Structure 1
Amino acid sequence: MLKQTSILFTILIGFLICNVSNGMVVKEKINSNNNFVFLAKFCYSTTPGASLSYVGTAANASTSIYIYNDWATEWGVGGNSKYSCLERVTASTPQTNMNQLSANSSRVLLPEDHQRAHFWYVVAANCDSEVGEVDFTLTLLNGGGLWSAQFSYDEQGLEALYLVYFFVFLVLTGYTAFTAFKLYKANAFHPMIKILSGVIVLEFLSVFVLLCNYGSYSHNGTGGKGAQGFGELLDLAAQLLFILLLILIAKGWAISRVTIDEKRIVLGAMGVLTVLYFIMFVWIKAGENPAATTYMYDTVPGIILLVARSLAMLWFMWCGYNTYLEETHPAKRNFYTVFGIAFVAWFLILPIICIIAAAVEPWVREKTVLAFYVTTNALALIGVSFLLSPSRSGEYLASATKTSSEEYSSITTKSYDESF
C-alpha cells in the first residue's frame, strides 16, 4: 500500500510540475552587452496559416529584431560567428526596428514555404554598440489545428506518440502491479521482479511527465518549466536500472546461481556508469545550443554516453557468454540464447538510432529518433516481462525464498507458479 501511495504521489508531483508553465510563446527580458543575441528557433511546416508575431520594447533605440530562414545564404551566415555583425544582419529576412514598438503593439510575419519545412531563427542585434535591455514576447505558430499549431514542425506528432505509449505503459504497469501483488502474496516476489517493476514504473512516469508537458504545450504554447528535463531524467534512471537488471540476468543471478557473482564489481561499475550518465546529462542540458538542430549524440557528452553504453553492452555479452558455457540445463541454455540475442539488439539500437538521426533531414530528426527510441524501450520491457512472467520462467527462475546453492540445485518451481 505504501509503494502504491508513493507512486501516486510521484505522479501527482509530475502533474503539478507539468502545469507550472513558462515557456513558444517565448516571453523574456534580456540584458546583453553582445551585439548579436539569439532569441528563438521554430520549424514552420508547409501548411498555410503559419505566423510569427512579437511584442516588445528595446532600451537601445538601434537594437532590432532580425528573422532568418535556414537557407545557407541566411542563417548559414547569420548563425556563423566568424562573420561580422553587419554581414550577419545583412543576410537576414525582413527586419523590424524594436524601438518602434510600444508595450501594447506588435508585428506579424507570415513565413510560408510550400516546398518543404524550414527552421526560422529570431535574433536581436545592434551592430553600432550592444543589444542592451530587450523586453519581448514572441509567438510562433504553425498552420493546422490543436495537435499542430503550437508545435515546431520537428516536434509535431510527439504528443500523439507519448499518448499512445502512455496507454502501452499503463497496461504494462497494471500487469506488473498485478503480478507483483500475486507473487508477494505467495511469498515468491523475487528481487529480480522487483527491479523489473521499478524499471517499468520509472519508464511509465517518464512517459506520463512528457505527455503532460506536450499536452500543456499544445493548448497554450508553453511547456512545463523543468518538466522536459524531469521526464528525461526519469527515463535515464529507468535505463540505468534496466542495464543493471540485464547484467544480473546475464551473470545468471537466480537462474544459474543464487547469489550475485562479483557483487562489488557489479555495484562499482553501475555506480561509475550512473555518475557518468548524470554528469553527461547535466553537461548536455547546460551546454545545449538552442539554435542547433543536431541530435544529442552528435555532441561530446552524447558521444561519451554512447561509448559508456557500448562498454556496458560488451560487459553484458561477456557475462552472458560465460554463464551460457557454465550452464548445462537445456531450458536455461535456451533462455540465455534468446535473452542474449534480444538484448544485444537492444543495446545496438542506440547506435542505429544515431545513424538514422544523421541520415534524416533536421526538420524530421527529433520525432523520428524519439519514435524509434520509445518504441524499442517499450518492446524491450514487454520482452523482459514476457520472459520473466511466472507462467514461462518456472523452469529457470529461482524462487525468492531459496537462499542457498544446495536449495537451488534441487529447486522446484512450485512456490513461484502456484500463485497463477
Structure 2
Amino acid sequence: MEVQKEAYDAHCHDSGPEDFLRRVPCPKNQLCLDEDNPTHVVSGTQLTYAVQDINSPRFWYLSFVACVWNSSTCKWQRSNHNASLHYQLTLVNGDPSAADHNPFEYQFSFDKQDTVEIYLVCVVFYGCILVPLQVYAACRQIHPITRLFTAVLVVQLAGLLFDTLHLLVFSFDGEGIEGINIAGDLFNILAQSLFMMLLLLLAKGWAITRMMLTRRLLLFALWGLYSILILTLYFWNMTEVDVVQDIDEYQTWPGWLTLGLRVLIMVWFLGELRHTMTYEHNTNKLNFFLHFGAATLVWFIYLPVVALIALQVSPLWRYKLLLGFTYSADLLAHSVMTYLLWPDRSEQYLLLAYEADLSSELEEFNEAPHVLNHPKDTTLLTPLCDTESNHSTLLKIHT
C-alpha cells in the first residue's frame, strides 16, 4: 500500500515522511491519540492535517476505513470495534491561523479557485450593459424576435446572479446555498435552450423573410431533444459522476450525446440558413444572414472543440477552462446578437407591424365635396407598402 510506505507511525514506521494517519474515535473533548504535538493542532479541533504543496497543487482525499495497524505485528487487520462516529471536517486552502486569507481562494479547492471572479465579470457585463441595452431596445421595438432575445438575456442574468450569490456565501462559510446554486444552473440551462430556439427560428427566416414556419415538427423536435439532453447531463453530472473520478461532464455518455446533437443541429442550421438565403433578394436581409450565420457558427462549434481540448488538460485546470470558455463564448454571442438586433439596424430586415392612425385624414377626405360618403358597412382597403422588402399590406378601414 502506498499509504503504508509513506505514512508515519510511532511503532511500525517511524521513518515515514508523511503524517497521514489518525485513529478514531478520539477521546471526548481531547486531542486524538496521534496528535503528539498540540501546537500543530488548530484551536478548537481534535485533529489537524497540515498539507504543504507549494510548488505543485494536487488533490487530497480523506478516507475512513474500518481497520487498524496492529502495533505488535505491524500488519493491517480489521477492526471489531463498533462505534458511531460524529464528526465535522473542515478543509481549507491556507493556514487557518493566518489573517491574510484570500476570500476567493481560502474555502475553494484549487480547481474551483478564481471562479468567483469569472461570475462577477459576467454579472457586470450582463447586468450593467447587455440587459439594460436590450430592455431599452425591446421597449423601442415591439417584435417577437426582440422579446425572445430579451428573455434570453434576463434569464441568463438571473442564473448568473444565483450562482454568484452561492459562491459568495461559499467563500465565507465553505458551504454556500445549494438550492440557490441549483436554481442558478437551471436558469443557465433555460437561457441556453431559449437561445438555441432563437437561432433556429432566425435560420428559417422567421419574422424576417416569412411569418409562417415550415417543418415545425422537426424544428421543435431537435430543440426539445437538445434541451432534454443538457438537462439530463446536468443531473447526471450532479448525481452519477464521482468527484474522485478524473472526468468532466462531457466525458460521460450524456455529454457525448449532447455534443453530437449540437453538431447535428449546427449542420441542420446551416442547411436551413442556406435555404432561407436562396429565396431572399433584399440586400439588407442578406447581409444580416451572412453576419448572423458566421457568428452563430462560431457559437455552435466552440463547445465540441473545447471539450476535446479539455481531455488533454489537467483536472486541476479543466473546470476553469470549460467555465471560462463557455461564458466567454455566450457573452460574445449575446453581444453580437444585441448589435444585430438593435432597433436602428434591425428595422431594415425584421418584418415589423406598422401602425397608422388615419382617422383625422379620413374624416377630412369624406367631408370633401367631390367624395361620395360610403355606407357604414363599407370597408376600404388601403395598401401600406414596404419599399425595402417589396411587400404590401392591406389596411382595412371601416367607415
Paired with 1:412 and 1:325, the residues of 2 have a C-alpha distance of 15
Relative to structure 1, is the Cα distance of residues 269 and 369 closer, same or farther in structure 2, using a 3 angstrom cutoff? Answer: closer
Task: Select between 393-402 and 325-334 the one with higher mean Cα deviation.
Answer: 393-402
CA RMSD for the aligned pairs?
2.9
Task: Tell me, yes or no, if structure 1 residue 112 matches structure 2 residue 52.
Answer: yes
2:377 aligned residue: none
Paired with 1:389 and 1:351, the residues of 2 have a C-alpha distance of 30
Paired with 2:168 and 2:240, the residues of 1 have a C-alpha distance of 27
TM-score (norm 1): 0.70
1:356 aligned residue: 309
CA deviation string 1:200-257 (max 9, x = no partner): 0111011111110110011111111233322221111111110110000000111111
Indicate the structure with greater strand content. Answer: 1
Task: Select between 292-301 and 205-214 the one with higher mean Cα deviation.
Answer: 292-301
Percent of residue pairs identical: 28
Relative to structure 1, is the Cα distance of residues 338 and 93 closer, same or farther in structure 2, using a 3 angstrom cutoff? Answer: farther
Paired with 2:52 and 2:289, the residues of 1 have a C-alpha distance of 55
Offset, 1:74:
6.1
Task: Tell me, yes or no, if structure 1 residue 198 matches structure 2 residue 151.
Answer: yes
2:92 aligned residue: 141
Which residue type is aligned with residue 177 of structure 1?
V
Paired with 2:385 and 2:105, the residues of 1 have a C-alpha distance of 57
Task: Tell me, yes or no, if structure 1 residue 336 matches structure 2 residue 289.
Answer: yes
Paired with 1:163 and 1:125, the residues of 2 have a C-alpha distance of 41
Secondary structure of the 1:164 match is helix
Which residue type is aligned with residue 65 of structure 2?
A
1:95 aligned residue: 21
2:121 alignment partner, one of 164, 176, 196: 164
Paired with 1:165 and 1:385, the residues of 2 have a C-alpha distance of 16
Which 5+ residue runs of structure 2 have no aligned equivalent? Answer: 5-15, 31-44, 68-77, 95-100, 356-382, 391-399
Tell me which of the two structures has the higher relative contact order, counting C-alpha pairs closer than 8 angstroms and 6 or more residues apart. 1
Which 5+ residue runs of structure 1 have no aligned equivalent? Answer: 1-71, 76-89, 184-188, 414-420
Paired with 1:329 and 1:111, the residues of 2 have a C-alpha distance of 67
Paired with 2:25 and 2:263, the residues of 1 have a C-alpha distance of 54
Question: Quick check: 2:282–2:388 contact (8 Å CA) kept in 1?
Answer: no
Which residue type is aligned with residue 21 of structure 2?
Q
Secondary structure of the 1:138 match is coil
CA deviation string 1:293-332 (max 9, x = no partner): 4221011211111112222212211111111222112221
Higher Cα radius of gyration = 2
1:43 aligned residue: none
Relative to structure 1, is the Cα distance of residues 272 and 146 closer, same or farther in structure 2, using a 3 angstrom cutoff? Answer: closer
2:276 aligned residue: 323
Question: Quick check: 2:162–2:184 contact (8 Å CA) kept in 1?
Answer: yes
Paired with 1:117 and 1:294, the residues of 2 have a C-alpha distance of 18
Relative to structure 1, is the Cα distance of residues 391 and 109 closer, same or farther in structure 2, using a 3 angstrom cutoff? Answer: same
Question: Quick check: 1:74–1:93 contact (8 Å CA) kept in 2?
Answer: no
1:210 alignment partner, one of 160, 163, 166: 163
Offset, 1:261:
2.5
Offset, 1:368:
1.9
TM-score (norm 2): 0.74
Question: Quick check: 1:398–1:411 contact (8 Å CA) kept in 2?
Answer: no
Paired with 2:260 and 2:58, the residues of 1 have a C-alpha distance of 33
Paired with 2:385 and 2:260, the residues of 1 have a C-alpha distance of 37
1:225 alignment partner, one of 175, 178, 188: 178
Relative to structure 1, is the Cα distance of residues 370 and 280 closer, same or farther in structure 2, using a 3 angstrom cutoff? Answer: closer
Offset, 1:387:
0.5
Paired with 2:90 and 2:354, the residues of 1 have a C-alpha distance of 60
Question: Quick check: 2:112–2:320 contact (8 Å CA) kept in 1?
Answer: yes
Relative to structure 1, is the Cα distance of residues 334 and 213 closer, same or farther in structure 2, using a 3 angstrom cutoff? Answer: same
Question: Where do residues 18-417 of structure 1 align in structure 2 (5 Å cutoff)?
Answer: 94-102=20-28, 105-127=45-67, 128=78, 133-143=84-94, 144-170=101-127, 171-183=129-141, 189-400=142-353
Paired with 2:267 and 2:384, the residues of 1 have a C-alpha distance of 32
Which residue type is aligned with residue 196 of structure 1?
F
Question: Quick check: 2:107–2:174 contact (8 Å CA) kept in 1?
Answer: yes
1:5 aligned residue: none
1:61 aligned residue: none
Offset, 1:137:
1.1
Relative to structure 1, is the Cα distance of residues 241 and 101 closer, same or farther in structure 2, using a 3 angstrom cutoff? Answer: farther
Question: Quick check: 2:229–2:254 contact (8 Å CA) kept in 1?
Answer: no
How many residue pairs get matched? 321
Paired with 1:296 and 1:379, the residues of 2 have a C-alpha distance of 23
CA deviation string 1:146-172 (max 9, x = no partner): 121111111111111111111101021
Relative to structure 1, is the Cα distance of residues 146 and 251 closer, same or farther in structure 2, using a 3 angstrom cutoff? Answer: same
CA deviation string 1:375-403 (max 9, x = no partner): 1101111111110111111221111459x
Which residue type is aligned with residue 295 of structure 2?
A
Relative to structure 1, is the Cα distance of residues 259 and 129 closer, same or farther in structure 2, using a 3 angstrom cutoff? Answer: farther
